[in-house]
Structures are given as structure tokens and as C-alpha cells.
Amino acid sequence: MVLEKLGSSIYETLKKIFGATVIDEHIVKELVRGLQRALLQADVNVRLVLELSKRIEERALKEKIPPGIPRKEHITKIVYEEFVRLLGEKPVSLNITPGKRNVFMLVGIQGSGKTTTAAKLARYFQKRGYKTALICADTFRAGALAQLSQLAAQINVPIYGDEKEKNPVKIALDGLRKFERYDIVIVDTAGRHKDEKSLIEEMKILQKEIKPDEIIMVIDGTIGQQAAIQAKAFHEATPLGSIIVAKLDGSARGGGALSAVAATGAPIKFIGTGEKIDDLEVFDPPRFVGRLLGMGDLRSLIEKVREAELKIPEKRAKAILSGKFTLSDMYEQFEAIRSMGPFSRILKMIPGLGYELPEDLIDVAEERLKKWRVIIQSMTPEEREKPQIINSSRMRRIARGSGTSERDVKDLLKQYKMLRRMMKTLRRKRFPFFGRKIAY
């Protein structure tokens, strides 16, 4: 959907990071430049781009990496967290107080999608069992009432308007009296006037007179840089409670929406994804960011990383990096990987990996991992701590005990030695990376 282009270019940049063996200042700077390019291309406001990228760069270079977490994953996490900081972590809904009437007023310039969105919202709440009504307070655009009436008729929601009345405040107040006993009333307003000043003035007066519970700004997702300017103008006149971004179904890159959020601090609560009345989605920031970065379900990946952080105690990690790496450690690594769920799913969540590994390779890796676990289980504690004592007669015993062959046991020991060697190299580079590469 939206932002795919933006997503793919950020993804390309991150992929570079994931392909690098050593992450140093140079690579971090390259990532930040790539991010900047991608965001600017998507019409995100220049100042916002600079702010975001500065924070990412600073954190990526300065923050202490938790033991056991590869630096690249840590950087991905930082990038993700900085977007989430801007957009929020969880979907936020419109505030609805039960047992009273809740009035929402839609603002935004002509053509942004207000009238359509008013009907979509009415539909959304009607489906959830709220007694909902619409008011058309757009006295500027010819046929405004007819447009909303037609939409309202489709969903059987009552509407109030007055073609002859020229004062939007009077219409809104009359409508509100009529819909006294409703749960939710949505007020649609004008988007154009003789000039912008008089439009903003009208919104101010409307707000003062009808006292809506929340003002929602509808932004056209395709307008780019303009979004921040518009949002700011409306926000200064009437404090915005939330933003709905319409038209995110086409080729819109939607960076403007990001800028609008930054300019006003108002959260995005819904997105419009089509012209039909049901084309309204609750805005889910992490999913949006995941898509934005072209990484699939980034939220789950981050959760797994957090879990893994907890799983490897720092002391242990230090011991391993200082050269003590036994089969027991290796076994723990297997367990950590296993507890993350099916291998194929984990791999898919790791950016730059899941997209490329063929299914059968994943299966093979998973099979091997299973075998190795059983083999280590069949060893004595002493063998696990000092694998060098495993001679051919022990090997035979272990193979029998685990229902595998001696070749499998040898295979495991070979893998173990390789890993241990890797750990030693890592220690020299001070690059805490283990666990991930074990299985293939």
C-alpha cells in the first residue's frame, strides 16, 4: 500500500547494514544518510528529517549495546523506536464517553476528504452499536448537503442540514439540539472560503459555539509538504485532537502525514483507504512503521530481541566472550532460538534474511537444530563442559542414546569448534555476536 517506495529505499539501506560484518561510525552515517534521502523523497518535512536522523545517529553511536544483541539489530531497534516515538506505539481510538453525547468536528481544506470521512466515521460507530448522527455545517460549497445526505442514506444514519441557512454556527447548534439523545454526532465543515483567514476564523467560532469533544483534522495523504503547513494553521486556530489521513490507498507516499503529526503533536487515529464508506482503518503505528521500513512485522521482531536480551545474563555473555564457550552454552543458545518459535517465522522477521532464504533451506536448518539439541541432551554434564574428552567410544554412546548417527555427533562437534573459534575472534573485535549464525 502506501509508502512502499519509501519503505523499500529505507529497507535497502538497512539491508546494507545487515550485510556488513563490522558496524562502525562510517556505516551508521551511511544508514542515516540513506534514511534522510528516503524520508525527503517521501515528502517528510526537512526539519523533521534532520531531527529524526540526528537522534538515530546519536543513539546508534553512543548507546551501550546489551550483551548478546548484534549491533545491527540494535540499530534497527533504534530506528524503529524513533518512528514509534513520533507516531505512538499503540493505536489510539477517539475518546468516547459512554452515557453522554460525544461531538466530533471535522476540519480541513476543501477536497481533503472530510465529507467522505464523516460518513465513514458514522458507519464505523454505527457498526459498533452507537446511536450516530451527522450534521452538515458546510455552507460554502454548493451541493455539500446533497453529498453528505446521499452518503448518510446509504448507511441509514440521520443527518441534519439546511440548504437555505448561511450561518454554519446556527446549523450546527440546531442540529445538536435535534440530536440531543445521540451517542455520537459528527459535524462536517467547510473547507474553502474567500480566503484562508476567514475559513480559520469560521472554525474558531464553530469551536467556541458548539464545543466539540474532539476536533479531527482530515488530511489528504497525497499532498506532501503542504500537510504540515495546513495542520499547523488549523492547530493554531482550534487545537486538534487527532488526525485522519485520507487517500492512503493510492500511490501516496504519506510522508506529509508524518510531518503533520510532528507539527501538531496530534496523533493519527484512522486512515482512509478508498472511496467507499467502509474504507476506513484504525491507524496502527508499529504496523505502519514496519511497512514503512519494508520489514514486515517489525513489532514481533523487536519483542523477540527484547526477550533475547533478557535471556542472556550479562555475566554469562562476558564469560563466553572471554573465551569460555562450552556445549552447554551452545545448548542454551539453541533453546533461546527454539523458544522464539518456528524457525521459518523467526527468519522472516529478521530484516534482510527472511526475504531471501529458500524454504527448504530453512527446513534443513530446523532439522539440524533439533538433532543437535537431542545430541547435547544425551551427553553427560562433564562432556558438555569439556567437549574435548569426547572420544570415539563416547561418540558411539551419545549417538545411540540420541537416536542419531556418529556422523551427526561429529557434525555437531565440528560446528561447536567453529563457533568457539568465532567467539574468540569476536572477543578481539569486541563485537558481541553469537547465537544467530549457529544453525546454518
**What residues make contact with ligand GDP under the rule CB under 6 A?**
108, 110-116, 191, 246-247, 249-250, 272-275, 279
Which is nearer to Mg ion, 112 or 404 (by Cβ)?
Answer: 112
Q: Which does 404 bind (CB under 5 to 8 A by kind): Mg ion, ligand GDP, none?
A: none
- The binder of 352, among Mg ion, ligand GDP, none, by C-beta within 5 to 8 A per type, is none
Beta carbon nearer to ligand GDP, 67 or 274 = 274
**Could you give the dihedral angle defined by the CA atoms of residues 334, 340, 341 and 346, in that order, rounded to the nearest 10 degrees?**
-100
Query: Which range in 85-93, 111-119, 235-243, 430-438 contacts Mg ion by CB under 5 A?
Result: 111-119
249 binds, among Mg ion, ligand GDP, none (CB under 5 to 8 A by kind): ligand GDP
Beta bridge partners of 102: 184
**3-class secondary-structure state, position 137:** strand
Between CA 311 and CA 329 the distance in angstroms is 12
Strands 268-272 and 159-160: unpaired
Cα atoms in the 13 Å half-sphere on the side-chain side of 402: 24
Shortest CB 71 distance to Mg ion, Å: 51
Residue among 338, 333, 359 nearest 420 (CA): 333
Q: In DSSP terms, which residues pair with 309 in a beta bridge?
A: none
Minimum distance, C-beta of residue 18 to ligand GDP, in the bound complex (Å): 35
* Shortest CB 119 distance to ligand GDP, Å: 8
Three-state DSSP at 189 gives strand
Cell of residue 371, nine digits? 538433532
> Which residue, judged by CB position, is nearest to ligand GDP in the bound state?
272
Q: Which is nearer to ligand GDP, 80 or 160 (CB)?
A: 160
Strand pairing class (159-160; 184-189): unpaired
Q: 143: phi > 0 → left, psi -120 to 50 → alpha, else beta; which? A: left
72 binds, among Mg ion, ligand GDP, none (CB under 5 to 8 A by kind): none
Q: Select 53 or 115, whichever has its Cβ closest to Mg ion.
A: 115
One residue of 45, 112, 115, 402 binding Mg ion per CB under 5 A: 115
139 binds Mg ion (CB under 5 A): no
Q: Are 38 and 13 in contact (CB under 8 A)?
A: yes
The size of the interface with Mg ion (CB under 5 A), counted in residues, is 2
Tell which positions 207-236 bind Mg ion, by CB under 5 A: none
Strands (E) across 223-356 are located at: 242-246, 268-272, 280-282
Summarize as ranges the residues that interact with Mg ion (CB under 5 A). 114-115
